[in-house]
Amino acid sequence: MASPKLAPFLVVAALMLRASHAHLSPFFHAKTCPQLPFLVLNVVAQALQTDDRAAAKLIRLHFHDCFVNGCDGSVLLEDVPGVIDSELNGPPNGGIQGLDIVDNIKSAVESACPGVVSCADILAISSQISVFLSGGPIWEVPLGRKDSRIANRTGTSNLPGPSETLVGLKRKFAAQGLDSTDLVALSGAHTFGRARCFFFTGRFDNFNNTGRPDPTLNPVYREQLRRLCTTQQTRVNFDPITPTKFDKAYYTNLINLKGLLQSDQDLFSTPRADTTAIVKDFAANELAFFTQFVKSMIKMGNLKPPPGIRSEIRQNCRRVNPVKAYDIM
């Protein structure tokens, strides 16, 4: 008998196995790879047993993929001089992790269903399963993406930065067709995972060259962070209370001036911002957060590559297929 914890996943997985012929649909792989949700679930669950950051790593990869040329698996492509200028070389992707987990998922999927599930789809469904296994909502993931044969390193400038102001955040989200509610909801993925200290230690003492600490950073929390940051490469939990759980604590932290990154805290602390009320709503109502998070994840996951880009189902997520093997769309 399935455990009560897995019951919602089994319901959604069953729905995803219904037949459909839509291009991007939760049921796209119902006939070609009916065991897909369970294959991904197994690998992600195994990864979480030894790496409590595995879930956050996977959802970050999906986010960073979709914001550059749409959700096309391009973030996974490694550098090939003269051929692929990897997005992994872009500054916003410095220190990004989780490619080994994607490799393991791809290996399991290829063994069961060779040549039918894209790496872009793997990022999308592994993000959903990561959220669910961490205590968050479950949803039907639209599938049927293809993998790009190119990367766009310069396009990584589209990604929000850790010191981004709210104006910059809104501009970058709006460029993807995402509004303020999507911005606040998707930022809630920072309810788990960690960030390296050099992304936020500038808030401690001489914030924006003022000679003073960031006034929107709780002083007690600031000193806790200072003690934790023994090096600039040290990774610190986004949420100091429930660091591996997907919950609404991120928003409570913002209200208490305990947002780890400036880009987090600005969602609440920017004067007269429309995002402040959304943060308060999600802090008071976890169901409201979960409901909107699902809507915003599906919306982001539907971002399409620009027209004319060649695509395929990659055999190895880190490399394009040999020319003779790929299927040009």
Q: Is 136 annotated as a binding residue?
A: no
21 annotated active-site:
no
C-alpha distances in angstroms, 111 versus 31, 33, 106, 120, 315?
16, 11, 8, 18, 11
Q: Is 211 annotated as a binding residue?
A: no
Alpha-helical segments (H) within 67-187? 99-112, 119-133, 166-174, 180-187
Q: Is 21 annotated as a binding residue?
A: no
Q: Is 270 annotated as a binding residue?
A: no
Exposure string of 13-38, with b = 16+ CB inside 10 Å and e = fewer, is: beebbeebeeebbbbbbbeebebbbe
Instruction: Report the distance separating Cα 252 and Cα 284, nearest Å.
Output: 8
Q: Is 179 annotated as a binding residue?
A: no
Q: Is 242 annotated as a binding residue?
A: yes
Which neighbouring-strand residues pair with 195?
236
Q: Is 52 annotated as a binding residue?
A: no
Q: Is 79 annotated as a binding residue?
A: no
Residue for token pair 């960690």: 194
Q: Is 234 annotated as a binding residue?
A: no
21, 23, 29, 64: which one is catalytic? 64
Q: Is 160 annotated as a binding residue?
A: yes
Residues 6+ positions from 260 with CB-CB distance below 8 Å = 190, 195, 200, 225, 236, 237, 238, 253
Q: Is 103 annotated as a binding residue?
A: no
Give the annotated binding-site residues. Answer: 65, 68, 70, 72, 74, 87, 160, 190-191, 239, 242, 247
Catalytic residues: 64
Give the annotated binding-site residues for Ca(2+). Answer: 65, 68, 70, 72, 74, 87, 191, 239, 242, 247
Give the annotated binding-site residues for heme b. Answer: 190
